[in-house]
Amino acid sequence: MEQGIIFFIFGIFLVLVMFWGNPFITSFSYMLLAEEVMELSVNKNVEKLYKIMKKKGYDTTPRDLTKLYPSGFDSEKKNMLNKNNTLKND
């Protein structure tokens, strides 16, 4: 009797793994495979992307990203820091 209960519990566990776990593991494996394939062909994909962008009229020239913030942002940031420091000192 005890052995039948153990086999029943093991059977339920096996069915859960087969119908719930197996699709999850399979889909995760497909995602990893797709990531590896994309990583191996990244240079070719970048070239294709740039060709498509140029064909659509986008400017693909590299830009210097040293000035990310709009003008006046630094002075506003300094004012905010000064206000916070004076509030903490009071």
Query: What amino acid is encoded at 30 in this protein?
Result: Y
Mean pLDDT value across residues 58-63: 84
Q: How many C-beta neighbours within 10 Å does residue 44 have? A: 9
pLDDT of res. 77:
67
- Using a cut of 0.75, tell me whether the model's pTM lies above it: no
Residue range 65-82, pLDDT digits in tens = 776 666 666 666 677 767
Model confidence pLDDT, tens digit, residues 36-53 = 998 999 999 999 999 999
Higher pLDDT, 8 or 1: 8
| Per-residue tokens: 34 | 């797709």
